[in-house]
Structure 1
């Protein structure tokens, strides 16, 4: 019996976790451990670049979507990406997969676990562990409504007269939803995100046992990275904010301890779209909680720098970044299946500047989701837009649009940490307003699905924006993967050479040094530095002059000789 695991269970549950439940849990852990023979990669390096995608991203008539995706990946993406983050590919009822009906199955339209294993032969995998809530259409919830023994405490019933005004609300929807049980009684259940997403009651030991079994199943099925979705809300105590509670942190530590016991090398990644200081708390002491946290402040700060043509805030924030240990790193991204979160800007930018950015993006076609505040007001929660369209005015030429987009992704690939690129970004996608109208929600603007023929035709079309984006980003990724200076834990120094030019210097343990320059403006910038002799990696040109001219939105990666 692993003492670390037992101590964490005792800390969270005390005497409520019965002896037979503890025996049951440790038996499940030992069985899973005996079934896992694969040795996972320990830690990370510059080779690690993650692709974020849906399992049903591409369609081909008469075929399941996972095998279709695997063929596309092997043809177009395998050389650039080490990991594939499959967004929830389980049976689901809403929220594009995040309302899970059955954690242990693959959605039949996507395929089955054999198809996941086929993809695993080409790439390391990242799974979503949607641990806070599950679908109202799930069998677990049906058994709760039928009041079956063993399920009576699976979800959180609250007297609707309870004062819940202090609870942090991520969306402008009711916190409690009434449901009628088999005996005709009505219970108001905790639904943080929607009436179809019922929060699980982790205060009940039987829920923890069931969810640990989900985690163990994912490890058995080959998950190298495990993303804990919306994990900050996992423990509830009325009268508190019900986010980031100590029990939540302890449960994440427990998940990590279990993963390390059965599959050493597994990386636990927390997804908490919150202000930066709260986000980094999920590193714990640097050895006991998440190995990676989502770097939620990076996407809106890059946008702010681009639209203001000023890198100073981005640079100051980057200079403040510090990791608690070499056992941790950042999970960096610019775009994802969700919108661009604004809460991570709070505490970094004044609210007035955040609202100005939101208004500017709205004028250029972005949509906005809102959240309710405890005082009854509401604030913008996220911007819904493709990152391509977020960066550039509508009237921009494709050349300018491409330059801005490449600059932003070069920043992503230059930052310390492991970079992740969303499928819509590598495909050069634009806002999908038709998808929003059809789906009825804003996030569909950046979730377009394609037939295999249409996307391969677009990527093969000489000179198209999609092809140019694909080629430029693929080139940048290949360069990053070749150079030790881009190791996630390599030293990083950030300097604003002026208000428009950001410099990131990465230095590896082998003393390889790469200086990255970014012109966040539509004006040429002349930089006076002692670079020569050196080589600019992106263009492949040698540098022999101490003066460099950066074109508008140009990026240079300079390898000092």
Structure 2
């Protein structure tokens, strides 16, 4: 018989674990005292639970929709209420999780320059709206911990020499050698602040309105932990750690992915999972693939990492008609340990990142991709290099428009190509996440881009609920076609154990025009062979080439076609997918 561990010993063990984390981050500080403070802020001194190691907190029914709170509007109604109604109407029993992008008061960057972490933007609703959504969906919220708004009270206090805030921000001597710093923007790294007596230079990784917090001060860590506790109380189950790779700075280094950064992630993981063993941490690290993978740690950092290389590689595959690089990347991806998995997305509120394609696509291939996206109406955002030059950072375009053709130009296969992209995402190892605009086939919004003055707004349209519902209902509309095809595919995926996020995955080799892989359920009873024609020409596949077992009965889950003759061949039309399985 297993004995329940006494609560006091759990608390003691957690306090020691937190103290050990802190010793790495803050050598020379009174780490046991800081640990006691953190446990008190998280209320772990009152209720401390024991998470199970390597437990998968997800299965094949888990899927997420990513959206701004005010993507869908209705007159005289809070946007959060309108969003809740839209999601319940269209996705109940299909998509069980929602990522609501920053819903706090903000000053810029569509929410990621937070003025007050503890309030809901009154233009969107209030905490009661958040709580209601969290009762119907697993809720993911952003933990924007690298920086806050220059209008946050902490920064106002910093400028006036008051607390809290007086020592919350990272300052540096501008004469230091900062040439090796990795930047995601072209704006100046430092912002000067003068109070008439002295001038300070504050660090701004993402721009002058987003001022970097200084985690060298343990009080900053305590403020963040206090915020985390509030979010848990308000129903947040999934924490998206925004731009977490940049949180620790050390002059003379690249100031990205430092050891202290990883230790902070491990510390927050320890605190969060002992407060709620079902809570999940996802790291948002838009960086090259090898660096991104490090945020799994040894299954002790992020539960999930954003699969940032998937969007640029998949778009490149579909517009070039060649899956060589996508296939090589898939073979290189290590299976996630139980208790961790990949977070798969192919469109988001940001652009198609190019840094995650570094080392995977050649310079010439990236140039061809950029040129094709510009031909389809996309825009390019840039980042600064340490030599003063700039380099493309991301492509800003609605995914539906990104796939309106190939490198040869626009064609008639836009919807089929768009659906193919999502079918691939749905079948890959990991949890799939749909940008709301992709679910309804939203196109480039040039008016919003010009009104807001930045490229990312091209893919952040706001819909009136009634108008969007009319378009979804109109059978002649591409919105209708996209919406209902994706709903059908989501429903199919939910019922397949072989699509569990941690089910076995192997890459198949069927040429450069067929992107193929095999999934097998964790109990080994179900196999699914996923064959995707990623070209604009029909492709013939011999069934014998995928080693279907002749003693089994095989069926395509999408078309319901049966395959009994193992010596036969099958023709895949342009951008067609087969999910061939032995269990249905």
- The runs of at least 4 consecutive aligned structure 1 residues that moved more than 3 Å come to 17-23, 31-37, 394-397, 530-533
Give 1:116-131 correspondences, 5 Å limit: 116-131=130-145
1:162 equivalent to 2:184? Answer no
Q: Report what 1:544 is aligned to.
A: 564
Q: Is the 8 A contact 1:33 1:263 kept in 2?
A: no
Q: Report what 1:521 is aligned to.
A: 535
Measured in 1, the distance between the counterparts of 2:520 and 2:25 equals 42
Shift of 1:14: 2.1
Measured in 1, the distance between the counterparts of 2:468 and 2:193 equals 43
Measured in 2, the distance between the counterparts of 1:123 and 1:414 equals 22
Q: Report what 1:486 is aligned to.
A: 499
Provide Cα deviations, 1:431-450, integer angstroms capped at 9, x if missing partner.
11111111100000101111
Measured in 2, the distance between the counterparts of 1:426 and 1:17 equals 51
Counterpart selection for 1:69 from 67, 76, 83? 83
Q: Report what 1:223 is aligned to.
A: 236
Q: Is the 8 A contact 1:459 1:467 kept in 2?
A: yes
Measured in 1, the distance between the counterparts of 2:46 and 2:578 equals 47
Q: Report what 1:48 is aligned to.
A: 62
Q: Is the 8 A contact 2:168 2:213 kept in 1?
A: yes
Measured in 1, the distance between the counterparts of 2:168 and 2:368 equals 43
SS in 1 for 2:292: helix
Provide Cα deviations, 1:368-414, integer angstroms capped at 9, x if missing partner.
001111122221110000111111239746x6111001100000001
Q: Is the 8 A contact 1:285 1:324 kept in 2?
A: no
Measured in 2, the distance between the counterparts of 1:324 and 1:113 equals 35
Shift of 1:26: 2.2
SS in 1 for 2:43: helix
Shift of 1:150: 4.1
Shift of 1:174: 0.4
Q: Report what 1:376 is aligned to.
A: 388
RMSD: 2.0
Measured in 2, the distance between the counterparts of 1:362 and 1:130 equals 31
Provide Cα deviations, 1:20-75, integer angstroms capped at 9, x if missing partner.
544332211226964999x9x95111010011011111111111111111111110
Measured in 2, the distance between the counterparts of 1:150 and 1:400 equals 57
Shift of 1:156: 1.0
Question: Can you give the 5+ residue segments of structure 1 that lack an aligned partner in the other structure?
Answer: none
Measured in 1, the distance between the counterparts of 2:251 and 2:234 equals 37
Counterpart selection for 1:104 from 113, 118, 121? 118
Q: Report what 1:317 is aligned to.
A: 329
Q: Is the 8 A contact 1:535 1:541 kept in 2?
A: yes
SS in 2 for 1:9: helix
Q: Is the 8 A contact 1:42 1:264 kept in 2?
A: no
Counterpart selection for 1:444 from 454, 457, 471? 457
Q: Report what 2:7 is aligned to.
A: none
Give 1:61-210 correspondences, 5 Å limit: 61-181=75-195, 184-210=197-223
Measured in 1, the distance between the counterparts of 2:484 and 2:336 equals 36
Shift of 1:509: 2.2
Measured in 1, the distance between the counterparts of 2:289 and 2:391 equals 18
1:560 equivalent to 2:574? Answer no
- Greater Cα shift, 240-249 or 305-314: 305-314
Counterpart selection for 2:399 from 374, 387, 402? 387
1:337 equivalent to 2:349? Answer yes
Counterpart selection for 2:485 from 449, 452, 472? 472
Give the total of aligned pairs: 557
1:25 equivalent to 2:47? Answer no
Q: 1:528 to 1:79 in 2, by over 3 A?
A: same
Measured in 1, the distance between the counterparts of 2:230 and 2:56 equals 20
Shift of 1:194: 0.9
- Greater Cα shift, 2-11 or 269-278: 2-11
Q: Is the 8 A contact 1:134 1:200 kept in 2?
A: yes
Q: Report what 2:363 is aligned to.
A: 351
Give 1:205-354 correspondences, 5 Å limit: 205-286=218-299, 288-323=300-335, 325-354=337-366
- Greater Cα shift, 152-161 or 268-277: 152-161
Measured in 2, the distance between the counterparts of 1:149 and 1:120 equals 34
Measured in 2, the distance between the counterparts of 1:495 and 1:23 equals 52
Measured in 1, the distance between the counterparts of 2:117 and 2:224 equals 9
SS in 2 for 1:145: helix
SS in 2 for 1:30: coil
Measured in 2, the distance between the counterparts of 1:347 and 1:208 equals 35
Q: Is the 8 A contact 1:33 1:261 kept in 2?
A: no
